[in-house]
Chain A
Amino acid sequence: MSTPAALRDWLITETPSSRRQAAWGRRYRLWCDFRRNPLAIGGLATVVLLIVLCLAAPLLATHDPGQQTLTNRLAAPSAEHWLGTDELGRDVYSRLLYGGRVTLGMVVAVVLLVAPLGLAVGCIAGYFGGLADRVLMRVTDVFLAFPRLILALAFVAAIKPGITSAIAAIALTAWPPYARLARAETMTVRNTDYIAAVRLTGASPWRIILRHVTPMCTQSLIVRVTLDMSSIILTAASLGFLGMGAQPPSPEWGTMIATARRFILTEWWVPLVPAIAIFVASLAFNLLGDGLRDVLDPKQR
């Protein structure tokens, strides 16, 4: 198992000798499928690159993102300021790196809140059925009845504009599709023989849901999360853009555009740079999600 060739043989064997080997073998085969799609690989590479850039922001930044130089406002890109400076003379390149932490951090926070919540609601509704199902799905319908951005806007306005309320607001509007998805998956496995077998051994409903139903939903959930990332990024950025997300002087990408928007006809690079960053991040997640769907969920193509 020391050489790559031996490792590969171990992975693609037709007769795995352990559960672990079978699981890794399956993952390897999925990766081989995934690898054949250049667009998806491009998306994956961009996502990894963005994450590295944001994590290494303190090392890569050329300036302090908050440092103002009012004598050097709205400067064009130059050797000193790679992407120019904004309306307060702050270095756009450094702010972009630090802003990525805020924007992508918000997205990660939303996903961490939403995916388990949607999964839980969907699995419970799907497994128990009956009244629980009807009540939970009715609640889901109510939240689906609002356009996402508009409900988030109203919610943020009611509490207080800021990062935390933006995360809460986006999470509040983002969970229903996950619940629907998890419910549909649960209904398909609920009446299978293996679940009946687990039930006969005396497992409690909660154990069945946690150990035997949720794992069956994770694959489609992963695809959904990746594809959803881009719409969460866009919602977060739109909130910032409308002045309802992260507040200045935070270098959140949407907020950066909001404060620089009035220079679009003159110093156009100041608002355009963060807007392009949002586009790149959102496109990368969409390409990655599209590739993942082809591999993990071929019937959805």
Chain B
Amino acid sequence: MTSRLRSAASVAASVPITLFGLVLVTFLIGRVMPIDPVIAIVGDHAAPDVIAETRAELGLDEPLPMQFVIYVGKLLQGDLGRSVMTSHTVAHDIGQFFPATIELATVAIIIAMLIGVPLGVLAAVRQGSFTDRAIRVFCLAGHSVPIFLLAMLSLLIFYAKLGWAPGTGRIDVAFDGLIDPVTGFLTVDALIAGDWDAFRDAVAHLVQPAGVLAYFSMAYIARMTRAFMLDALAGEYVITARAKGLSSARVIWRHAFGNIAVRLITVLTLTYASLLEGAVVTETVFSWPGLGQYLTVSLLNADMNAVLGATLVVGMIYLALNLMADMLYRLLDPRVA
């Protein structure tokens, strides 16, 4: 156990360096931009002394390394600057928009897991058969499809043609602002408020974007499950279990699957991180007021504080999830020494 703890600790030790790199990259991106942040605030026609004053106020008259120190100092206090567009602090905005993205990504990964894992197991058990090939193509398609194609098709078919799903957004305007934001997750908040109609409406709005996002990650989950299962099914303990006369289902699910569960947790964690990326496009199509949409709207308005703040936060969460996947693998799987 101690050696495993030590290997996990060595992974954790590399995090501060990567984190520093992350901050440095966002800082540098913010400094290469052609739009002068001072002009963006005071406007084109401001007097020269106003421009100089604002520049000093923002610390932009300092040399670059000094600016970086100031930037890091502010970051450590949770200060990501102010958004020109919303005129709130970026940290406040992110707190507002992020729960919507987490809600979307969490539902998506649950759907993806419930479909992807059984598909992967099935493909592995029937290796080489028609079923295996069909699943392989289905997954490759999920890997290849642009998320906006799925999103647009889904809107066209289920909303416009069939009328089964509600349109874009998180909830019907009728409920807008009526639900007390306790957790920021609309479905949970509606339940807390005991408003069943609002809950049903929020869930209905969630199904389409979450389903689209789920297909994208399901492909990867199914593919990895299949590979792990093939590996496990070839093990001698599986042959022994079969020779003892255990039922096929018991061998597959208890013996083989039990052995790959830890590695699957790693895959799920990594997939969850990649969902943050897919969410940017999905949120744009479905007008889902999450971090992805905040990012794209800020981009179009050249609101750099907001863009960099959101990029940095997403990068940190990505890093944390990757670290978590690595740690879980090292701590839980006894085969990793």
Contacts and interface: CB of A to CB of B under 8 A. Distances in A.
Contacts of B33: 157-159
Contacts of A155: 29
Nearest to A237: B146
A149 B26 contact: no
A276 interface: yes
A158 B145 contact: no
A264 B151 CA distance: 10
Interface string B77-93: 00000000000000000
Contacts of B137: 39
Given A147-B273, A257-B148, A283-B144, A138 B319 contact: no
Query: For chain A, what secondary structure do more than half of its interface residues adopt (helix, strand, loop), or is it mixed?
Result: helix
Contacts of A276: 149
A242 B152 contact: no
Given A142-B21, A145-B22, A261 B152 contact: yes
B18 to A, nearest CB: 5
A301 B227 CA distance: 8
A157 B304 contact: yes
B322 A275 contact: no
A265 B144 CA distance: 24
A286 B143 contact: yes
A292 to B, nearest CB: 14
A83 to B, nearest CB: 16
Interface of A: 39, 138-139, 141-143, 145-151, 153-155, 157-160, 230, 234, 237-238, 241-244, 257, 261, 264-265, 268, 271-272, 275-276, 278-279, 282-283, 285-287, 290, 301
Interface of B: 14, 17-18, 21-22, 24-26, 29-30, 32-34, 133, 137, 140-141, 143-149, 152-153, 155-156, 159-160, 227, 273-274, 276-277, 280-281, 284-285, 295-296, 299-300, 302, 304, 307-308, 310-311, 314-315, 318-319, 322
17 contacts: A39-B137, A141-B18, A142-B22, A149-B281, A150-B310, A150-B314, A153-B311, A154-B308, A157-B33, A230-B144, A244-B299, A265-B159, A268-B152, A272-B156, A275-B149, A275-B152, A290-B140
